[in-house]
């Protein structure tokens, strides 16, 4: 009788232990799935539209890599996006940022679309970003002008961005660093290559993919 009770208790304990293990594993799987779901929900998703009404389409290149600073500058010098005329009602900063992104990815350089918001202006701004292999994150503003450029002119600019600071931009031909301090130390010295600030930055959203 005692042996029978011992065997019964042992079986019951094993069954109970198995049930607890199943519940624990199920909880871990659910937790992992929930975590992935939360990450997907919190990941920035680009939802931008051009003035034409069509959505921004970023074409990514799976083989794209992070360029060096020199490679990025070389690409910008060759790319003609900045030479397109800026037209508020048909081709504005959003179009410029989309085009440069896709041209860079096609060239084999990983690029991002960046949305910038401001404290002192209602309309935001669209630019690009590159994670360079040697100088870190670089913001690029290639938005063109309303008048045609001269043969030796360029609207390719390194953008200098920090929250609650003025939006700075310098021609790629007059800078060799993405550090905001470089812009801040030189902005009042009337140096060549400096563009007028367009506002005080509130924040940025960087989209590396659609």
Class for the domain spanning 69-207: alpha beta
Q: Quote the tokens at residue 66.
A: 């992070």
- pLDDT, position 92: 96
Q: What is the secondary structure of 164-209 as a DSSP string?
A: TSB-EEEEGGG-S---HHHHHHHTTTT-TTEE----BEEEEEEES-
- pLDDT, position 161: 98
- pLDDT, position 11: 54
Half-sphere exposure of 53 (CA within 13 A, CB side): 0
Sign, Cα dihedral of 115, 119, 123, 125 = negative
Domain ranges of the chain: 1-43, 69-207
Model pTM score: 0.78
- pLDDT, position 8: 52
- pLDDT, position 21: 41
CA distance 111 to 60: 8
- pLDDT, position 18: 55
**Can you give the pLDDT of all 210 residues of the chain as single tens digits?**
545 444 554 555 555 555 444 444 444 333 344 343 343 344 556 788 998 899 999 999 999 999 999 999 999 999 999 999 999 889 999 999 999 999 999 999 999 999 999 999 999 999 999 999 999 999 999 999 988 888 778 999 999 999 999 999 999 999 999 999 999 999 888 788 999 999 999 999 999 986
């Amino acid at each position: 009788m005692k042996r029978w009770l011992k065997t019964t208790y042992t079986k019951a304990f094993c069954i109970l232990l198995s049930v607890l293990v199943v519940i624990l594993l199920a909880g871990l799987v659910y937790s992992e799935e929930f975590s992935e779901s939360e990450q997907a929900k919190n990941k920035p998703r680009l939802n931008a539209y051009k003035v034409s009404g069509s959505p921004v389409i970023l074409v990514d290149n799976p083989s794209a890599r992070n360029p060096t600073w020199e490679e990025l500058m070389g690409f910008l010098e060759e790319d003609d996006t900045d030479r397109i005329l800026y037209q508020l009602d048909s081709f504005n900063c959003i179009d410029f940022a989309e085009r440069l992104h896709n041209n860079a990815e096609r060239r084999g350089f990983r690029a991002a679309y960046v949305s910038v918001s401001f404290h002192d202006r209602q309309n935001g701004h669209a630019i690009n970003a590159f994670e360079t292999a040697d100088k870190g994150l670089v913001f690029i503003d290639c938005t063109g002008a309303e008048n045609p450029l001269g043969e030796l002119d360029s609207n390719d600019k390194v953008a200098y961005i920090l929250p609650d600071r003025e939006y700075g931009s310098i021609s790629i031909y007059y800078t060799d660093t993405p550090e905001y301090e470089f812009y801040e130390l030189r902005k009042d010295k009337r140096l060549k290559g400096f563009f007028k600030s367009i506002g005080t930055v509130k924040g940025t959203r960087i989209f590396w993919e659609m």
